[in-house]
A and B are shown apart, each in its own frame.
Chain A
Amino acid sequence: AQKVTQAQTEISVVEKEDVTLDCVYETRDTTYYLFWYKQPPSGELVFLIRRNSFDEQNEISGRYSWNFQKSTSSFNFTITASQVVDSAVYFCAVAQGGSEKLVFGKGTKLTVNP
Chain B
Amino acid sequence: SQTIHQWPATLVQPVGSPLSLECTVEGTSNPNLYWYRQAAGRGLQLLFYSVGIGQISSEVPQNLSASRPQDRQFILSSKKLLLSDSGFYLCAWSSGMSNQPQHFGDGTRLSIL
> Which of chain B's residues 58-113 have a Cβ closer than 8 Å to chain A?
59, 88, 90, 92, 94, 98-107, 109
- What does the 1/0 interface line of A25-47 toward B look like (CB < 8 Å)? 00000000101010000111111
CB-defined contacts of A98 to chain B, threshold 8 Å: 98-99
CB-defined contacts of B49 to chain A, threshold 8 Å: 100-101
CB distance from A3 to the nearest CB of B (A): 12
Q: Given the known A-B contacts A102-B46, A104-B43, are A97 and B99 also in contact in the complex, defined by CB atoms under 8 Å?
A: yes
Interface contact B105-A44, CB-CB below 8 Å = yes
Out of B43, B46, B88, B90, which one reaches A107, CB within 8 Å? B43
Query: Most chain-A CB neighbours within 10 Å: which of B51, B90, B98, B105?
Result: B98
Complex alpha-carbon distance, A106 and B42, angstroms: 6
CB distance from B76 to the nearest CB of A (A): 16
Interface contact B44-A44, CB-CB below 8 Å = no
Query: Please, how many residues of chain A have a CB less than 8 angstroms from a CB on the other chain?
Result: 23
Chain B residues packing against A (C-beta within 8 Å): 32, 42-44, 46, 49, 51, 59, 88, 90, 92, 94, 98-107, 109
Knowing that A44-B90, A47-B103 are A-B contacts, what are 12 other residue pairs whose CB atoms are under 8 Å apart, sorted by A's residue number?
Answer: A33-B99, A37-B104, A44-B107, A47-B101, A52-B99, A97-B99, A99-B98, A100-B94, A101-B49, A101-B59, A105-B43, A106-B43
